[in-house]
Amino acid sequence: MGATRELTDDEGHPVRLGEVRRIVSLVPSLTEAVAVTAPGLLAGATDWCTHPAGLDVPRIGGTKNPDVPRILALRPDLVIANEEENRAPDLAALRAGGAAVWTTRIRDLDQALHSLRRLLVDACRLPRPDWLAAARQSWAEVPGPAAAVGAVVPIWRRPWMVLGADTFAADLLRRLGVTVLTAGHPGRYPSVPLPELLESGAELLALPDEPYRFTDTDGPDAFPGLPYALLSGRHLTWYGPSLAEAPAVLTAQLAARR
């Protein structure tokens, strides 16, 4: 058994850790990050954790409604969460039950790479994963765009909700030459009336397949005549192993606009 250490997570919460041998993840992208890096550590994950394929661990409910008693019964050495994905009362209940909870806070690519290293290397004491180095290199090789394309990027329909400022996805798109035109609205995921979106002057409609699953027949119909691109939500919004291939995947999808 290693000595107990006290670290702070991305939110500044103190986290007391010994040897980390059992992890419960409340975030699909963090689940993938742990499962690919050290699969034997993962002791539980949410119902929404779909990667890697064939993941076979106990399920503990959703990101917004985790089964706290079930998680505590799994006796995790560490529960990993995200301040945007998970609710503060659930994390507080886990801490009150004696669980060590590590909360990530990610707003852009640089924060994601730093946060993942702190979680995996500093907190879990794992070697730096090859995929993390590959992700950093892949994004470093993205050429600066010759000219930015102004886009509307919905994430929900009925009501229309879009990417705003200070979001991880908007930062990735910026690096790929796409300017999110609704970044000036209050809030990170503002609700904007459709007529205002239609009058935004957008040159492109970028439609991810999560959290709302936009398709060729659901989304473009509301923006007649506007070129659109269907994007992989996992590559646009997940911070984990998918980051290594995200520049190539998203660049190809943006180029294949309809």
Q: What is the percent of the chain with per-residue pLDDT over 90, rounded to a whole number?
A: 96
Residue 15: count of CB within 10 angstroms of its CB? 18
Question: How high is the pLDDT of residue 145?
Answer: 73
Residue pLDDT, tens place only, 94-146: 999 999 999 999 999 999 999 999 999 999 999 999 999 999 999 999 987 77
In angstroms, the CA 78 to CA 7 distance is: 12
Q: What is the mean pLDDT of residues 176-192?
A: 95
Q: Is the pLDDT of residue 59 over 70?
A: yes
Residue type, 113: L
Question: How high is the pLDDT of residue 2?
Answer: 60
Q: What is the percent of the chain with per-residue pLDDT over 70, rounded to a whole number?
A: 99
Torsion angle defined by CA atoms of residues 168, 170, 171 and 175, in that order, rounded to the nearest 10 degrees: 140
Q: What is the mean pLDDT of residues 65-92?
A: 97
Second CATH level (architecture) for the domain 5-128: 3-Layer(aba) Sandwich (3.40)
Strand ranges inside the chain, DSSP E: 5-8, 14-17, 23-25, 42-45, 78-82, 101-104, 149-152, 154-156, 161-162, 178-180, 204-208, 228-231
CATH fourth-level superfamily of 146-255: Nitrogenase molybdenum iron protein domain (3.40.50.1980)
Nearest to 123 by CA among 188, 186, 78, 161: 78
DSSP state of 89: H
User: Considering the entire predicted model, what is its pTM?
Assistant: 0.94
Question: How high is the pLDDT of residue 146?
Answer: 72
Hey, where are the domains in the chain? Answer: 5-128, 146-255
Nearest to 194 by CA among 156, 239, 243, 250: 156
Q: Give Dmax (Cα) for the chain.
A: 63
Nearest to 94 by CA among 62, 63, 64, 67: 67
Please enumerate in sequence order all residues whose Cβ is within 8 A of that of 65, keeping only pairs 6 or more positions apart, or say none: 90
Q: What is the mean pLDDT of residues 225-230?
A: 98
Whether the domain at 5-128 and the domain at 146-255 fall into the same CATH topology = yes
Q: b/e string for 152-168 if b means 16 or more Cβ within 10 A?
A: bbbbeeeebbbbbbebb
